[in-house]
Every structure is written in structure tokens, then in C-alpha cells.
Amino acid sequence: MGDMNRRTFLLHTGRWLALTALAPGLSGCARLLRWSESQGRWVEDDSEAVGSTEGSTGDTTTTTAAGSTTGSTAGEPGTGGTSTTSGPSTGSTTVGGSGSDAPDLAVIRGDSPDAAAVAAVAALGGMERFVKPGAKVVVKPNVLTGRAPEYATTTNPLVVSAIIRMCLAAGADQVVVLDNPTSSPRGAFKEAGLTQAVEEAGGTLKYLSNRDFERVDFPEGEALDSWPLVVAALEADTLINVPIAKTHGMAGLTLSMKNLMGIMGDSRGQIHVDYPRKIVDVNTRVKPHLVILDAYRALMRNGPTGGNLNDVKLFKTVVAGTSQVAIDTYGATLMGWKPADLSSLAEAARRGMGEIDLAKYRVTEGKV
């Protein structure tokens, strides 16, 4: 199949995936990589369409600061109802809008993490808002060390797979997945289920070496004036940050802002000294175009490495947005923290990088 035909096919396929994620009543034969708890391995599942979850309604609700309900409109057949709630000064939010009419955060819950990811991006306006035809995309999951997905140490491979497919459907020329694990990169990605997931979704897995880093100045840095960073992440047409929600012994929580440590070279452990200022310095220089928080499973204790299933909580939630601060504010709240008590968020707020009060954001919530 020629490049143009393949791209056209992927574009139409991606739009179909987004529709089926929001319309659980539809059926189809889309094949997905899924983790089988009973078999203890990755399997392809073609028993249902993306986003098809038994008993799911597909309802979507949009709220904003100090919101009051202004009415509801019936969704299209198979999608369930859609209600819009708006605050006194923000006006209505259009679910699936783009630009200024899109919500700040899309929070989607459901039994399928891949379907939730597709629906969350669709609520922001679709991947076409972030990825243009011919774009080079870098996807940055959290792959600290090798752990199977159920331990909530690494980003769920189904979420990463869905992101790759959406990017290719939007016309991306290349989708590269990378991170800088503390253990053997090949072993970590394989154990996390990401090697297979990336390959089958059509992405490219990049194992980093010293030549992939260059020292970059931080003009707005307070504790750091420069640091070696992954060049590919800085030069990407679209950078997508895909953290997993988990605790961290020194930083409190690992969410989207801290996930950028994975594109840092040298002895990055030094970041934990004067951590709030240093991680915010990094975030003043590296600003992902899209952030997707994997909170399907969250590591509630003994992070960041985990290793005990008793420390894992099942939230079945994916959160998408464009602001690292907004994502981390929601993530902290989900994990039982007051955002102001998370040092990195408090520092980001002090430096004017975003609000850490969820009431300030327009939030769309839905179920697939």
C-alpha cells in the first residue's frame, strides 16, 4: 500500500476509533493488545470495538469553576446523553471542541484504558488538533524500571498503543516512544509490555544513549541554568507526555511535571536536592503539546518503583489536557493530596505557570 493510501486509511481508522470510544453501543472487529490477568501475558483482543464496555453509557459531563447546570442535550444514538455545565464567566464548553472552546481537562473513566485515552483526546478536539500530517511525534511514557502493568510502576501499554494509533491516524510521519529507565532499557520496556505494544501499534521504540543528549539553556531557570536533555524531545513537532499516577519517596508524587526527568541526562538524581525549584526549571524549558495522565491504576504507596500489588489502587481513569500544572493538580487531588501540599505544584503556582485550584479549570468528565 502506498504512503498516501496508508495515511488515508489510518486517518479514517483513527476517526472511527474515536467515534467508537464515545459510542459504546457500536461494534466492530478492531484488534487491540490487551493484558490478560488470567493468562499472565499480552494478547490480542478482537471481541469488541474500541471503547465498547458492557454496561457503559458513554455519558459526558462538562463542568467549570463554580459551575451551575445550564441544560442538557441528547447525544447521538449510542453515545448517551451529554450535559454541559458552565461557570458564571466562562460560558459553555463544547465537548470535542478545539482551541479556546475545548475543556482544560478531559477526565474519562472506563474498563478499557485504551478506550478512555481515545475518548479523552477526542474531548479535547481529537488528535488532529495536536498532530499535523507529516509530523514527527515523540511520546514520553514513564518507564522507570521493568514492571508488569498491574504494578502501576510504568505507563499502561494500552494507553501508549492508543496514542500511537491516534497519531498515525492523524497523519504523523513517525511516532517515537522513548524514556531513560534506571535499569536496562530493553529489559524495562519489554517487562512493561511496551516493546510489543509500540511495535504492534506502528511506533518506533528508541533506546537512548549519550549521543541523544545535548546541554540546553534554561533562560527562566532559578536553580538550574542548563542541563543535558534528549534532543528528539525538543525537536519533535509534537511532544506527548504520558505519565502514570504514583507516589514518590522524595518528591511526594510522580505525575506529569516529574515525568520530564526521563528526558534528562547526566546524574539526574541531583534534581532531588532543591527538587521543587529544579523540576519547575525543567518545565519552563520543556512544554509538551499534550499531556495524558494514566490513572487507570495508581501506585498509592512505596513509589516510584513499587512491586507490591497491595499498593495499587484501580481508578480506571485517564486525564488529558495541555497544561502540566492542570494535569498534576487533578492527579494530586485524585491521589488524595491537596495540590498546594505538593511542593512542585506550589512552586509552579508561585512562578505563574498555572492555577492549582481545580475550580479554576473547565473539566469534562465522561465514561466509556
* 21 or 110: which leads in pLDDT: 110
Q: CA 179, CA 109: separation in Å to the nearest integer?
A: 26
Question: Quick one: pLDDT at residue 228?
Answer: 97
Question: Quick one: pLDDT at residue 64?
Answer: 44
Question: Quick one: pLDDT at residue 55?
Answer: 32
Mean model confidence pLDDT for the chain:
80
Strands, E assignment, the chain: 32-36, 41-45, 60-63, 68-73, 82-86, 105-109, 136-141, 174-179, 204-207, 213-217, 226-230, 238-242, 244-248, 252-254, 290-299, 312-321, 363-367
**Among 10-19, 26-35, 138-147, the least confident range:** 26-35
Q: CA 106, CA 116: separation in Å to the nearest integer?
A: 10
Question: Quick one: pLDDT at residue 61?
Answer: 54
* 80 or 292: which leads in pLDDT: 292
Which grid cell is 265? 541526562
**Most confident among 86-90, 98-102, 192-196, 265-269 (mean pLDDT):** 192-196
Q: Is the pLDDT of residue 316 over 50?
A: yes
**DSSP classification of residue 93:** -
Q: Is the pLDDT of residue 106 over 80?
A: yes
Nearest to 149 by CA among 196, 110, 108, 182: 196
Q: What is the pLDDT of residues 242-276, one digit of tens each?
A: 999 999 988 999 999 999 999 999 888 899 999 99
Q: What is the pLDDT of residues 159-173, one digit of tens each?
A: 999 999 999 999 999
Question: Quick one: pLDDT at residue 269?
Answer: 85
Question: Quick one: pLDDT at residue 59?
Answer: 54
Q: Are 261 and 269 in contact (CB under 8 A)?
A: no
Q: Is the pLDDT of residue 39 over 80?
A: no
Q: How far apart are the first and last CA of the chain?
A: 33
Across residues 96-102, what is the average pLDDT?
64
* 96 or 59: which leads in pLDDT: 59
Angle at CA 172, nearest 5°, toward 20 and 28? 20
Which grid cell is 14? 483513527
Helices (H), the chain: 3-22, 113-123, 157-169, 185-191, 194-201, 231-235, 256-259, 275-285, 324-334, 343-350
Which grid cell is 360? 479554576
Q: What is the pLDDT of residues 131-154, one digit of tens each?
A: 999 999 999 999 999 999 999 999
* 146 or 10: which leads in pLDDT: 146
Classified as helix, coil or strand, 184 is coil
Question: Quick one: pLDDT at residue 244?
Answer: 98
Question: Quick one: pLDDT at residue 7?
Answer: 43
Question: Quick one: pLDDT at residue 36?
Answer: 39
Radius of gyration of the chain from Cα atoms? 19
Q: Is the pLDDT of residue 86 over 80?
A: no
pTM score:
0.78
Q: Is the pLDDT of residue 199 over 80?
A: yes
Share of the chain above pLDDT 70, in %: 73
Across residues 216-221, what is the average pLDDT?
97
Q: Is the pLDDT of residue 103 over 90?
A: yes
Which pLDDT band holds residue 101 (cuts at 50, 70, 90)?
A: confident
Q: Is the pLDDT of residue 70 over 70?
A: no
The domain segmentation of the chain, as residue ranges, is 3-367
Q: Are 240 and 291 in contact (CB under 8 A)?
A: yes
Residue whose C-alpha cell reads 537512548 in the numeric block: 208
Q: Is the pLDDT of residue 293 over 90?
A: yes
Q: Is the pLDDT of residue 119 over 70?
A: yes
Q: Is the pLDDT of residue 48 over 70?
A: no
Nearest to 141 by CA among 98, 184, 195: 195
